[in-house]
C-alpha cells in the first residue's frame, strides 16, 4: 500500500475533479436476481415531489434484496426505494465496476433500513440528501452476512437470500480491494448510520438518531473547512475506527464538532489524531483495536466534553481540555504548546475557583494547558446546542430532514468522579495543569479520588515521572479532589530555570504521598534548576488528612539563585509523616532549602492541622547549604502534635531549621503551637548552625496543655561554627511539662558565638525524670552550655545562655538535671527557677548513680565565669542524693547559688538513694579548678537538713564561696549517714591539695537545732579556714552537734554566735583549732542569755603551733556540767570523750584568753526557802501571776539531781522525797490550768504557775 500522504493527495485530486463536473444519473439494475430484479420507475410522486422509485427486488421475509450494475444519484435527482409493508431491511448491491456517486436525494419511501453495498467505492456529494427514516448502512465491503449466508456484490452467484436480519458488521468482507467512502455533504439517518470502507474521507456532516459508526480498514480522515464545518452527530453511540489510523483535523470552522448522545469511541492501533471538539453524552474513549486504551495526538488544542467517563492511554500535543461528567483516566499526557486558535473551539478560556477559594486562570491559547475536570454536573458539561455560536441553527444544518424533530435522550451513567493519571509532562514555558472533580460537581456520584501513578519513561527503574513541568518559566499545577489525592511511587514536580508557579493540592478527604518500594523518589517538588535564577512558587495542600509515607517528600529547593517560596499545609484533621525508604534512605517529610553553590532565601514551612504525627525518621527541614537564610517552620496544631521513632539512635525524627557547614545565612525558627505535645523516640526539634556563617534560630513551643519529651528526645538550638554568630533560644510555655528518660531542652555553643536561653513558662508542673538507658546516653533536663566537640574539632567560645523556668511546681528526679555549664571558653549562663509551689529535686539515676540536680559549672578544660543558680519557691524538697550546685573544674569562678524559699526547705538524703552520701547544696572549686567558689545563699521560713549537707568546698586553686542562711523560723540540722558516718550540716572547707581560703558561714535564724550534725568551716590545704557567724533570735540546741572552724596549717576561722539561749547536749562542741603551723587559732565569741553545756560538750580554741584563739563568753551566762578548765598545753584531743564539759584555748606558743561572765549575782540573790510547805488553802484555784511592768530577769535551772556550790566546784547531791500520788477527789467544774513557768515573787519565793496573759 502506498504511503498515507501520497494516497490522500491522489484522492483529494480525484475528488476535486469529481466535484467540478456534474454527475450523470445511473440506476441500472443487473440480471443477478432474475425475475426478481430491481425496477426503476421515473417521475413518480414520492413524498410530495417527483422522484425515481426503485421497486421490485427479491423479498425474503423482512428483507428486500436489490442488485445494480451501476448506482449513481445525480445532483438534482431524487431516488427512493419502495418499502413494501412487511419489509424491514432493503439491501442494495452494485455488482458493476463503478463507484456509487450520491449527489442528490436518496431515500426510502417507508421506515425500512437501507444498505448500500458497492465494493468500488461510494461518494456523497456536497448536495447529498438522505431521506432514510430507518438506519442507513453504506459500505464498500464485498458482501453482507445474512444469517449463515451472504449477500455478495463481487460474487453475486454465491449469494443466499435469506429471511434473517442482515449483519451490520462488515469487517469480514472489507479487503484491500474494497473501495473508499467519501462525504462532502449531509449524510443522515433516522436510526443508525454506518459508513464502512477501506478508507473514509469525511469533510461535511454525518448524523444518526441512533448509533453512528465510521469504519475503515485503513484510515478514517476527517476534515473541515473555513466555510463548511465537519459535524458528526449520533443520537446513540459514535464509533470512529480506522484499522490503520484515525486522522481528525476539524478546528477550522467554529461549528465543527463530534457529538454523541451515547458513548464515543475513537479506535485505531496508531495514535488517533484528534484536533477537534468532542462531546459525548456517554463515555469517551480512545482505544486500540483490542479495546484497550489507545493514544491521542493533537497538534492543535482538543476539547473533550463527556457526560460519562473519559479514558485513553497517552496524549501528545497542544493544550488539552477535558470536562467529564464521570471519571478521567489516562497514562501519559505530554503537552507541547498552547493553541492560538478560537476561544471555545480550539481552547477554553475561563476563570475557575477551586474548592478552597484558589483562583485559576485557564487559557489554552496563552499557556500550554492540560485542563481535566471530572465529576462535572451535566449542566456544566453542556448539552448539544440547538444554536451554534454563529447563530445558525445547529440542527438546521440538516434542514428538510426528518432528523430535526427527533430528540434523542442522553443516558450517561458515569462510574465515578475519579481522576487517575500516570504522567503529565509539559516542557514549554508558562504551563498549567489542572485536575479537579470539584468544578460544578455532580454530588450524586461516588468516588472523587485523584490518583497520580507515574510511569518509568526511561526504563531505568529509578524514577517514575508523574506530573512534571520542566520549562524556564512559571508553570503551575492544581489538583482539586472531592475525595482523596494519591501520589504513589511518583512525583509532582515543577523545575524551572527562572521562576516557577504554585503547586496546589486540595482534597475534601485525604492527600496521600507514598513510596511503596524501589529506587523511586515520590512526592511534590518545586525547584529552581542549577544555573537558574528566579523564585519558586508555593506548595499548598489543603485536605482533611495528609499522609506522607515511606520516604515520600514535599520539597521546595533552590539549586540556582533566587528564592524558594513557602510550603503551606492546611489540614482539617491529621497530618502524618512516617518512615524512610529502606533502599534510598530518603526520609518522609517536608523540605525547604538553599542548596550548595546557590544564593537566595529558603521559604517557610507552615502546617496547620487538628493532629500532627512525625514518625520513624520523618523530618521537617528548612536549611541553607549555600548563601542565604533558611526559612521558618511553623506548626499550628489544634489538638495533639506527636513526634516519635522506633529507632531513636539511627532513625530519629526531626524538625530542623539550620545552617549547614560552609553555608552563609541565618537559621530559621521552629514554632509549635498545640494543645498536647509529645516528643518521643529521640526526636530532635532544632534551630541550629552546624558550621556555617550566621546565627542559629529559636525553638518556640506554645502548648496549651501538656508537653511531653521522652526517650532521649530534645528541643535545642546549637551554634557550632567558628564564624562569629549566636545561638538561638528554646522557649516553651505549657500547662504541664514532662521531660523524661534522657530527653533534654537545651541551647549550646560549640563555636564562636553565644548560646541562647532556655525559657520554660509552665502554669502547673514541670517534671524532669530519668536518664537515657543507652550506655552513652544523657540525663533528662534543661541545659545551656558552652561545649566542646572533639569529633568536629570545635571549642565553644562565647557566653552560655540562661535557663529560666517559671512554673507552678517543679520535679527533678532520678538523675535528671537543670544546668548551665562551661566546657569551652566563655561565661556560663544563669539557672533561674521561679516556682510558685513546691520544687522537688530527688534521687539519682538507677542506671549510673548520677544525682538529680540543678547546677552551674565550669567543667574540666573550660574557661570563664560560671553562672548563678537562682531558685524562688514556696517549698523546696531536696532528697535522696539530689544536689543543687555551682562549681568550677576549669579556669574561672563558680557562680552563686541563691535560694529564696517562702516556706520550708527540706533537704534529706538517706532514703531511696544510690551512690555516696551527697544530698545537698554545693559550691566548689574542684581538683582541676582555678577560680573562686561561688556563694550559697538560702532564705527560707524553715530549713531542715536531714542526712544532707550545704557545702562550699575547695579542692583546687581558689577561695571558697560564703554560705549565708537566713531562716525566719527554724533551722534544723539532723542525722548522719549510718553507712559512712558523714554528718548532716553546713560546711565550708578545703582539702589538703587545695590552695585557697574556705568561705565564711553565716546563719541567721529564729531557732537553730543541731542534732548529730555539724556547722564547720575548715581548711586542710594552703589557705585559711572561713569564719562562722550565727545569729539566732531564740534558742540554739545541739545534741551531738558541733560548730567548728578549723585549719590544718593556716589561720583558723572565727566563730561568732549570738542567741537567746544555747543548749549543748551529749558531744556537742563549739571549737576552733589549727592542727599545725604558726598561725593562731580562731576566736570564739558567744553572746547569749545563757549557754548551758552538758555531757561531753566542749568549747575549744586550739592552735598546735601558734597562739590559741580567744574564747569570749563575757556577755553570756555559761553553765557547764562537770566543767573543767584544762591546763595550758593540754592536747585538745584528750578532752573529747572524757564525759565532761571543757573550755580550752591552748596554743603551742600561747593560750588564748577565756572570758566568762560573772554569775555571782545568781548565788547572792538566792533567798532561803522556808521550811514550811505552802498552805494550799492560801492558793486560789486557776490563779495566775500578774507581773509588774518592770522588766524582770529570768532564772534558769539546770542539772540532774545536784547543784554545784560555786562555779568550778564539784556537784553535791541533795535528797528528794518520793513523789506521792494525789488522792482522788470528786471533780468540780473548775478547769485545770497547767503551769507554764517558774516565777520569783517579790519576797524571793519561787512559784510554779502561769502568766495571767496566757
pLDDT at 389: 31
* pTM of the predicted model as reported, rounded to 2 decimal places: 0.82
Q: Locate cell 441553527: which residue?
A: 393
Final residue of a domain: which of 154, 179, 204?
179
In this structure, the strands spanning 193-202 and 122-124 are unpaired
pLDDT at 1215: 38
Using alpha carbons, select from 1075, 1029, 1031, 1068 the residue that is nearest to residue 1052: 1075
Residue 1133 — φ and ψ, nearest 5°? -65, -30
Q: Locate cell 455560536: which residue?
A: 389
Using alpha carbons, select from 371, 369, 379, 362 the residue that is nearest to residue 325: 379
Residue 1086 — φ and ψ, nearest 5°? -125, 125
Tell me the residue ranges of DSSP E strands in 288-398. 296-298, 303-306, 310-311, 314-317, 320-324, 328-335, 349-353, 359-363, 369-373
pLDDT at 1210: 38
CA distances to 59, 145, 477, 960 from 150, rounded to whole Å, are 15, 4, 57, 121
In a domain, 139, yes or no: yes
In a domain, 36, yes or no: yes
Other Cβ atoms within 10 Å of 947 Cβ, number: 27
Query: Do 915 and 880 touch, CB atoms closer than 8 A?
Result: no
Query: Do 81 and 88 touch, CB atoms closer than 8 A?
Result: no
Query: Do 331 and 314 touch, CB atoms closer than 8 A?
Result: yes
CA 1191 remoteness from chain centre: 76
| Alpha-carbon gap, residue 92 to 63, rounded angstroms | 11
Residue 1161 — φ and ψ, nearest 5°? -60, -30
In a domain, 1196, yes or no: yes
Final residue of a domain: which of 179, 204, 238?
179
pLDDT at 1054: 92
Sequence-distant (≥ 6) Cβ neighbours of residue 184 within 8 angstroms: 15, 19, 123, 124, 125, 126, 128, 203, 204
Query: Do 630 and 594 touch, CB atoms closer than 8 A?
Result: yes
pLDDT at 814: 93
| Alpha-carbon gap, residue 863 to 822, rounded angstroms | 7
Render the burial of 49-72: b for 16+ CB within 10 Å, e for the rest. eebbbbbbbbbbeebbbbbbbbbb
Residue 48 — φ and ψ, nearest 5°? 90, 0
Domain that holds residue 154: 25-179
In a domain, 507, yes or no: no
pLDDT at 653: 93
In a domain, 1202, yes or no: yes
pLDDT at 609: 98
Final residue of a domain: which of 146, 179, 212?
179
In a domain, 263, yes or no: no
pLDDT at 475: 87
pLDDT at 14: 44
10-residue stretch averages of pLDDT, the chain, 1254 residues long: 42 44 77 95 95 96 97 96 97 97 97 98 96 96 95 94 93 94 95 97 94 96 94 93 95 89 95 91 95 92 88 93 93 87 65 91 88 91 52 40 43 85 91 92 89 83 83 87 93 90 94 83 91 92 96 94 94 96 89 93 96 96 94 97 86 91 93 97 92 92 97 91 88 97 91 90 97 84 81 75 96 94 89 97 87 90 92 95 91 94 91 60 89 94 93 89 96 84 87 87 96 90 89 96 86 90 94 80 93 92 86 93 76 82 85 83 52 50 55 41 37 40 44 56 58 60
In a domain, 568, yes or no: no
End-to-end CA distance of the chain: 133
Residue 1237 — φ and ψ, nearest 5°? -165, 175
Three-state DSSP state, 593: strand
In a domain, 52, yes or no: yes
CATH number for the domain spanning 49: value is 2.160.20.10
Q: How long is the chain?
A: 1254
Query: Do 1096 and 1067 touch, CB atoms closer than 8 A?
Result: yes
In this structure, the strands spanning 1042-1047 and 1070-1074 are parallel
pLDDT at 916: 47
Residue 723, class by beta-carbon neighbours within 10 Å (0-12 exposed, 13-18 middle, 19+ buried)?
middle
Q: Locate cell 492511554: which residue?
A: 313
Q: How many domains does the chain have?
A: 2
Query: Do 619 and 658 touch, CB atoms closer than 8 A?
Result: no
Amino acid at each position: 500500500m502506498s504511503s498515507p500522504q501520497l494516497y490522500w493527495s491522489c484522492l483529494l485530486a480525484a475528488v476535486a475533479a469529481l466535484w467540478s463536473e456534474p454527475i450523470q444519473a445511473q440506476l441500472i439494475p443487473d440480471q443477478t436476481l432474475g425475475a426478481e430484479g430491481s425496477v426503476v420507475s421515473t417521475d413518480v410522486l414520492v413524498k410530495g415531489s417527483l422522484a425515481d422509485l426503485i421497486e421490485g427486488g427479491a423479498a425474503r421475509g423482512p428483507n428486500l434484496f436489490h442488485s445494480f450494475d451501476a448506482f449513481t444519484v445525480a445532483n438534482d435527482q431524487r431516488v427512493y426505494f419502495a418499502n413494501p409493508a412487511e419489509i424491514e431491511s432493503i439491501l442494495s448491491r452494485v455488482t458493476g465496476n463503478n463507484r456509487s456517486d450520491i449527489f442528490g436525494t436518496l431515500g426510502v419511501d417507508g421506515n425500512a433500513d437501507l444498505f448500500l453495498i458497492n465494493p468500488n467505492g461510494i461518494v456523497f456529494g456536497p448536495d447529498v440528501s438522505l431521506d432514510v427514516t430507518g438506519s442507513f448502512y453504506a459500505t464498500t465491503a464485498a458482501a453482507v452476512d445474512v444469517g449463515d449466508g451472504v449477500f455478495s456484490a463481487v460474487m453475486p452467484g454465491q449469494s443466499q437470500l435469506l429471511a434473517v436480519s442482515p449483519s451490520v458488521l462488515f469487517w469480514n468482507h472489507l479487503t484491500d480491494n474494497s473501495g473508499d467512502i467519501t462525504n462532502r455533504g449531509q449524510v443522515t439517518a433516522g436510526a443508525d448510520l454506518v459508513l464502512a470502507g477501506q478508507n473514509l474521507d469525511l469533510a461535511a456532516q454525518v448524523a444518526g438518531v441512533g448509533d453512528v459508526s465510521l469504519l475503515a480498514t485503513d484510515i478514517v480522515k476527517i476534515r473541515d473547512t473555513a466555510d463548511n464545518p465537519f459535524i458528526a452527530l449520533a443520537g446513540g453511540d459514535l464509533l470512529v475506527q480506522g484499522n490503520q489510523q484515525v486522522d481528525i483535523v476539524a478546528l477550522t470552522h467554529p461549528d465543527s464538532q463530534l457529538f454523541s448522545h451515547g458513548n464515543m469511541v475513537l479506535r485505531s492501533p496508531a495514535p488517533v489524531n484528534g484536533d477537534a471538539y468532542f462531546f459525548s453524552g456517554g463515555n469517551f474513549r480512545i482505544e486500540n483495536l483490542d479495546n484497550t486504551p489507545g493514544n491521542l495526538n493533537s497538534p492543535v488544542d482538543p476539547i473533550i466534553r463527556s457526560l460519562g467517563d473519559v479514558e485513553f492511554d497517552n496524549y501528545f500535543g497542544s493544550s488539552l481540555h477535558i470536562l467529564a461528567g464521570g471519571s478521567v483516566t489516562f497514562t501519559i499526557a505530554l503537552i507541547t504548546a498552547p493553541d492560538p486558535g478560537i476561544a471555545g473551539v480550539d481552547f477554553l478560556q475561563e476563570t475557575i475557583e477551586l474548592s478552597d477559594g484558589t483562583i485559576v486562570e485557564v487559557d489554552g491559547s496563552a499557556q500550554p494547558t492540560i485542563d481535566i475536570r471530572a465529576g462535572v454536573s451535566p449542566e456544566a458539561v453542556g448539552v448539544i446546542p440547538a444554536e451554534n455560536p454563529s447563530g445558525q441553527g445547529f440542527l438546521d444544518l440538516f434542514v428538510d430532514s426528518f432528523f430535526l424533530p427527533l430528540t434523542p435522550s442522553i443516558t450517561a451513567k458515569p462510574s465515578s468522579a475519579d481522576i487517575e493519571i500516570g504522567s503529565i509532562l509539559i516542557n514549554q514555558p508558562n504551563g498549567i495543569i489542572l485536575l479537579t472533580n470539584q468544578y460544578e460537581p455532580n454530588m450524586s456520584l461516588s468516588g472523587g479520588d485523584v490518583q497520580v501513578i507515574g510511569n518509568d519513561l526511561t526504563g531505568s527503574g529509578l524514577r517514575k515521572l508523574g506530573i512534571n513541568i520542566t520549562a524556564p518559566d512559571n508553570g503551575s499545577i492544581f489538583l482539586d479532589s472531592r475525595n482523596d489525592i494519591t501520589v504513589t511511587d511518583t512525583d509532582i514536580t515543577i523545575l524551572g530555570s527562572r521562576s516557577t508557579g504554585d503547586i496546589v493540592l486540595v482534597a475534601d478527604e485525604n492527600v496521600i504521598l507514598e513510596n511503596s518500594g524501589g529506587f523511586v523518589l515520590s512526592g511534590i517538588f518545586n525547584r529552581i534548576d542549577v544555573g537558574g535564577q528566579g523564585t519558586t512558587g508555593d506548595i499548598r495542600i489543603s485536605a482533611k488528612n495528609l499522609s506522607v509515607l515511606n520516604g515520600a517528600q514535599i520539597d521546595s529547593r533552590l539549586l540556582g539563585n533566587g528564592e524558594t517560596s513557602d510550603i503551606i499545609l492546611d489540614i482539617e484533621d491529621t497530618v502524618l509523616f512516617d518512615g524512610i525508604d529502606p533502599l534510598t534512605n530518603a526520609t518522609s517529610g517536608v523540605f525547604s532549602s538553599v542548596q550548595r553553590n546557590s544564593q537566595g532565601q529558603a521559604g517557610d514551612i507552615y502546617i496547620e492541622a487538628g493532629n500532627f504525627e512525625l514518625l520513624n525518621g520523618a523530618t521537617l527541614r528548612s536549611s541553607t547549604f549555600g548563601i542565604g537564610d533558611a526559612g521558618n517552620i511553623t506548626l499550628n496544631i489544634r489538638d495533639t502534635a506527636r513526634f516519635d521513632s522506633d529507632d531513636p539512635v539511627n532513625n530519629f525524627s526531626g524538625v530542623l531549621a539550620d545552617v549547614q557547614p560552609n553555608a552563609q545565612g541565618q537559621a530559621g525558627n521552629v514554632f509549635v503551637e498545640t494543645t498536647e505535645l509529645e516528643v518521643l523516640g529521640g526526636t530532635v526539634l532544632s534551630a541550629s548552625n552546624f558550621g556555617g556563617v550566621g546565627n542559629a534560630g529559636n525553638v518556640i513551643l506554645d502548648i496549651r496543655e501538656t508537653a511531653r519529651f521522652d526517650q532521649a528526645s530534645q528541643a535545642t538550638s546549637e551554634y557550632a561554627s567558628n564564624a562569629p554568630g549566636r545561638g538561638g533560644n528554646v522557649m516553651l510555655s505549657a500547662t504541664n511539662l514532662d521531660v523524661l528518660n534522657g530527653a533534654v531542652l537545651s541551647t549550646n555553643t560549640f563555636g564562636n558565638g553565644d548560646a541562647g536561653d532556655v525559657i520554660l513558662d509552665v502554669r502547673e508542673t514541670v517534671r524532669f525524670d530519668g536518664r537515657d538507658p543507652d550506655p552513652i546516653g544523657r540525663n533528662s533536663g534543661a541545659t545551656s552550655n558552652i561545649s566542646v566537640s572533639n569529633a568536629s574539632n570545635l571549642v565553644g567560645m562565647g557566653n552560655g545562655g540562661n535557663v529560666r523556668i517559671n512554673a507552678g511546681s517543679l520535679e527533678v528526679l532520678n538523675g535528671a538535671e537543670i544546668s548551665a555549664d562551661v566546657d569551652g571558653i566563655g561565661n556560663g549562663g544563669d539557672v533561674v527557677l521561679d516556682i510558685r509551689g513546691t520544687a522537688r529535686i530527688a534521687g539519682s539515676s538507677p542506671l549510673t548513680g548520677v544525682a538529680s540536680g540543678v547546677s552551674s559549672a565550669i567543667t574540666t578544660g573550660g574557661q570563664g565565669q560560671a553562672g548563678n543558680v537562682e531558685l524562688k519557691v514556696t517549698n523546696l524538697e531536696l532528697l535522696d542524693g539530689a544536689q543543687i550546685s555551682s562549681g568550677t573544674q576549669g579556669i574561672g569562678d563558680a557562680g552563686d547559688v541563691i535560694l529564696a524559699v517562702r516556706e520550708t526547705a527540706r533537704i534529706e538524703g538517706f532514703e531511696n538513694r544510690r551512690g555516696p552520701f551527697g544530698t545537698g547544696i554545693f559550691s566548689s572549686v574542684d581538683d582541676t579548678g582555678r577560680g573562686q567558689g561561688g556563694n550559697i545563699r538560702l532564705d527560707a521560713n524553715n530549713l531542715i537538713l536531714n542526712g544532707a549537707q550545704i557545702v562550699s568546698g575547695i579542692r583546687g586553686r581558689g577561695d571558697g564561696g560564703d554560705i549565708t542562711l537566713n531562716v525566719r523560723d527554724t533551722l534544723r540540722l539532723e542525722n548522719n549517714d549510718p553507712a559512712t558516718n558523714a554528718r548532716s550540716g553546713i560546711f565550708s572547707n578545703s582539702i589538703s591539695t587545695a590552695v585557697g581560703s574556705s568561705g565564711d558561714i553565716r546563719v541567721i535564724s529564729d531557732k537553730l537545732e543541731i542534732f548529730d550534725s555539724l556547722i564547720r568551716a575548715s581548711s586542710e590545704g594552703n589557705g585559711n579556714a572561713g569564719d562562722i557567724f550565727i545569729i539566732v533570735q531564740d534558742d540554739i540546741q545541739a545534741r551531738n552537734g558541733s560548730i567548728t572552724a578549723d585549719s590544718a596549717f593556716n589561720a583558723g576561722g572565727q566563730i561568732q554566735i549570738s542567741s537567746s539561749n544555747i543548749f549543748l547536749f551529749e558531744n556537742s562542741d563549739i571549737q576552733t583549732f589549727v592542727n599545725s603551723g604558726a598561725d593562731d587559732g580562731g576566736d570564739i565569741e558567744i553572746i547569749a542569755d545563757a549557754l548551758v553545756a552538758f555531757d561531753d560538750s566542749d568549747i575549744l580554741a586550739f592552735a598546735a603551733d601558734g597562739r590559741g584563739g580567744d574564747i569570749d563568753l563575757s556577755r553570756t551566762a555559761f553553765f557547764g556540767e562537770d566543767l573543767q578548765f584544762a591546763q595550758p598545753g593540754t592536747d585538745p584531743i584528750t578532752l573529747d570523750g572524757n564525759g565532761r564539759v571543757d573550755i580550752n584555748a591552748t596554743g603551742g606558743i600561747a593560750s588564748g584568753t577565756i572570758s566568762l561572765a560573772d554569775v555571782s549575782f545568781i548565788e547572792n540573790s538566792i533567798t532561803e526557802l522556808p521550811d514550811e510547805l505552802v498552805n494550799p488553802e492560801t492558793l486560789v484555784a486557776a490563779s495566775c501571776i500578774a507581773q509588774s511592768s518592770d522588766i524582770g530577769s529570768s532564772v534558769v535551772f539546770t542539772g540532774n539531781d545536784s547543784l554545784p556550790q560555786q562555779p568550778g566546784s564539784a556537784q553535791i547531791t541533795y535528797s528528794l522525797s518520793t513523789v506521792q500520788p494525789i488522792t482522788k477527789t470528786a471533780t468540780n467544774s473548775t478547769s485545770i490550768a497547767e503551769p507554764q513557768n517558774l516565777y520569783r515573787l517579790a519576797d524571793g519565793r519561787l512559784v510554779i504557775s502561769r502568766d495571767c496573759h496566757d
